[in-house]
């Protein structure tokens, strides 16, 4: 019976664990250097006399981390930032802010209230991002819950249900019900060669039933998990009709509820009260006038005993020498700045690709989603806008800021559009989910990271982004993570991590560099 399933086939899952921890991807090697240095474990020595001047290039979160840690250790730090604000892709837009997109300058005209903001870049903090959370604690950044998943938010796909919206919870409940009934039928009918005992089978069928909310005959007949049509408090609730699986299957989005709320986008998540840039403000508050704005770097010269950096300020070219330099300028901008990097180092820097990302937001005249039982969470759309986020803060206030599009991986779609085209795309799609959308929203802000001044791209990506990590990439990465010869210059940021686009990665990169510098300073006295 060639297609039977034997107990042997499940022995691994049933009884055994892998003997050793498995590496997720091949080609991985643990660095000899500390890889998981946390703020708590960083214990930097005071600078050696005459070796304490540090230049940090770029006030992104990795640069700010370095400046803050070295300041605490007694170094004399200066941070040069090209733009008029710190944070890089940690950017919150509020009333009066200028969005410095090249060719598409915008001024935010939303109501000036604490809850009326939009996190145009980083927006979520997973509970496992310990270093970032450590800095929030250390720097007094107040945090609150954030949720990704709301069962009352919608899924919308022109290919499914004639384009009608369906609640997240209704779609997932029907998908689960169908799969569970199918699973139970297959399990019962499959030639299983009796791999499980009766007791085990009973437990497995119990789990299948719980998964799909099946009835006592292991059939899916709808479920209150999908929500009621009405009632439930003073009468037996009237259950929603089941949705035909054939109709749902027209969509590619059915697996959303299995994939979208796992790992770093699963519960629980947090956000700073008042906007993600409260993290940045925490650092800049602590650093005071050590951060110099509107000071674009114009040249880097590595020397045996330090680094010379030239920059412009108020139209005047200036130069500073430092004993150490930590550089988080985006790789693709850095390669255009005059420098004397070794050719292999420059090659590594040049090999980093850039993620594409686009977000837009509106001020909503009214928090209309709350009338639809939605308080936070994400609606998923099979169209370029991809997602609509409802604010989890400012509940029941008069207005709110709604994220109208979050396109990742295909951001050039919007990047190439005019502001008017971007806005119309968001409205045309948004009103498929909320019929009164066009009347309810105003004062759009759009952010195409490939056109944002001083950035011109989103997160650094090695290889093809997801997977595709080759030996060649490993060589390029390792080279760039190491300091330049002599140990006086480090390239840092999420661009020098395996996991771009997260603040925790940028901090991890900074911590790696700090630990490496500290070790060299202690051991070699350089």
- Which residues between 203 and 232 bind a copy of itself (CB under 8 A)? 203-204, 206-208, 210-211, 213, 220-222, 224-225, 227, 229-232
Which residues, 6 or more positions from 399, have their beta carbon under 8 angstroms from its beta carbon?
111, 113, 116, 363, 364, 365, 366, 367
Instruction: Report the b/e string of 265-298 with b at 16+ CB within 10 A.
Output: eeeebbbbebbbbbbbbbbbebbeebbeeebbbe
Q: Among positive and negative, which fits the CA dihedral 429, 430, 434, 437?
A: negative
Nearest to 345 by CA among 512, 517, 484: 484
Q: At its nearest, how many Å lie between a copy of itself and the CB of residue 29?
A: 8
Q: Shortest Cβ distance from residue 400 to a copy of itself (Å)?
A: 13
Using CB under 8 A as the binding rule, whether residue 268 contacts a copy of itself is answered as: yes
Q: Which residues of 352-365 are buried (b: 16+ CB within 10 A; e: fewer)?
A: bbbbbbbbbbbbbe
Place of tokens 């086939």: 9
Least gap, CB of 280 to a copy of itself (angstroms): 17
Q: Residue 504 CB, nearest distance to a copy of itself (Å)?
A: 6
Which residues, numbered 134-153, are part of the site for a copy of itself (CB under 8 A)?
Answer: 136-137, 142-147, 149-152
Q: Which of 4, 418 has the CB closer to a copy of itself?
A: 4
Q: Which stretch binds a copy of itself (CB under 8 A): 31-39, 107-115, 414-422, 448-456?
A: 31-39
Which residue lies nearer to a copy of itself by CB, 62 or 446? 62
Q: Does residue 237 touch a copy of itself according to CB under 8 A?
A: yes
Question: Taking CB under 8 A as the rule, does residue 38 contact a copy of itself?
Answer: no
Contacts of a copy of itself in 153-212 (CB under 8 A): 169, 173, 175-179, 181-183, 185-192, 200, 203-204, 206-208, 210-211
**Which of 39, 123, 133, 404 is in the footprint of a copy of itself by CB under 8 A?**
133
Which pairs with CB-CB distance under 8 Å and at least 24 residues apart come from 211-214?
211/176, 211/179, 211/180, 211/183, 212/176, 212/177, 212/178, 212/179, 212/180, 212/181, 212/183, 212/184, 213/173, 213/176, 213/177, 213/180, 214/177, 214/180, 214/181, 214/184
Decide: 302 and 484 in contact? Cβ < 8 Å: yes
Closest distance to a copy of itself from the beta carbon of 441 (Å): 21
Angle at 519 between CA 524 and CA 34, to 5 degrees: 150
Quote the tokens at residue 185: 């039928």
Whether the Cβ atoms of residue 487 and residue 522 lie closer than 8 Å to each other = no
Output the smallest distance, CB 446 to a copy of itself, in A. 27
Task: Assess 10 for contact with a copy of itself (CB under 8 A).
Answer: yes
> Taking CB under 8 A as the criterion, which residues in 450-489 touch a copy of itself?
469, 481
Among 293, 346, 408, 498, binds a copy of itself (CB under 8 A): 498
| Contact call for residue 32 and a copy of itself (CB under 8 A) | no
Site for a copy of itself in 373-412 (CB under 8 A): 373-377, 392-393, 395-396
Which residues between 70 and 129 bind a copy of itself (CB under 8 A)? 127-128
DSSP state of 148: S
- The nearest distance, CB 221 to a copy of itself, in angstroms, is 7
């Amino acid at each position: 019976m060639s297609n039977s399933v034997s107990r042997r086939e499940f022995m691994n899952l049933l009884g055994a664990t892998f003997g050793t921890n498995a590496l997720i991807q091949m080609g991985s090697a643990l660095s000899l250097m500390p890889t998981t240095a946390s703020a708590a474990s960083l214990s930097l020595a005071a600078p050696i006399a005459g070796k304490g001047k540090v230049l940090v290039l770029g006030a992104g979160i990795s640069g700010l981390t370095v400046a803050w840690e070295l300041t605490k250790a007694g170094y004399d730090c200066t941070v040069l930032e090209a733009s008029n604000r710190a944070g890089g892709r940690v950017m919150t837009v509020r009333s009066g802010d200028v969005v410095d997109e090249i060719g598409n300058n915008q001024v935010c005209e939303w109501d000036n209230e604490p809850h009326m903001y939009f996190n145009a870049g980083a927006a979520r903090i997973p509970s496992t991002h310990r270093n970032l959370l450590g800095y929030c604690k250390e720097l007094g950044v107040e945090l609150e819950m954030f949720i990704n998943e709301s069962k009352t938010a919608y899924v919308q796909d022109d290919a499914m249900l004639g384009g009608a919206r369906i609640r997240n919870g209704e779609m997932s409940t029907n998908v689960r019900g169908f799969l569970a009934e199918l699973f139970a039928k297959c399990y019962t009918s499959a030639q299983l060669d009796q791999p499980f005992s009766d007791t085990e089978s009973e437990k497995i069928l119990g789990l299948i039933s719980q998964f799909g909310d099946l009835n006592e005959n292991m059939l899916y007949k709808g479920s209150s998990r999908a929500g009621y049509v009405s009632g439930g408090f003073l009468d037996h609730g009237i259950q929603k009709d089941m949705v035909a699986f054939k109709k749902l299957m027209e969509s590619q989005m059915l697996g959303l509820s299995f994939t979208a709320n796992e790992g770093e986008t699963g519960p629980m998540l947090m956000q700073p009260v008042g906007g993600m840039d409260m993290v940045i403000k925490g650092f800049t508050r602590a650093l005071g006038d050590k951060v110099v704005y509107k000071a674009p770097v114009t040249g880097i010269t590595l020397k045996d005993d330090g680094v010379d950096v030239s920059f412009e300020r108020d139209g005047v070219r200036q130069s500073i020498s430092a004993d150490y330099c930590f550089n988080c300028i985006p790789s693709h901008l850095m390669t255009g700045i005059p420098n004397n990097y070794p050719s292999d180092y420059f090659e590594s820097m040049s090999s980093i690709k850039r993620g594409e990302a686009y977000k837009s937001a509106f001020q909503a005249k009214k928090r209309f989603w709350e009338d639809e039982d939605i308080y936070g969470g994400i609606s998923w759309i099979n169209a370029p806008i991809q997602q609509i986020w409802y604010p989890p803060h400012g509940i029941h206030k008069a207005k709110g800021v709604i994220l109208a599009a979050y396109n990742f991986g295909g951001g050039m779609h919007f990047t190439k559009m005019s502001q008017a085209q971007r806005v119309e795309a968001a409205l045309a799609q948004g009103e498929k989910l909320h019929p009164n959308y066009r009347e309810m929203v105003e004062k759009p802000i759009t952010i195409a990271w490939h056109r944002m001044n001083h950035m011109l791209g989103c997160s650094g990506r090695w290889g093809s982004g997801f997977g595709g990590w080759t030996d060649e990439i490993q060589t390029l990465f390792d080279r760039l993570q190491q300091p330049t010869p002599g140990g006086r210059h480090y390239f840092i940021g999420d661009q020098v991590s395996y996991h771009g686009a997260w603040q925790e990665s940028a901090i991890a990169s900074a911590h790696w560099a700090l630990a490496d510098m500290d070790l060299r300073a202690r051991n070699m006295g350089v």
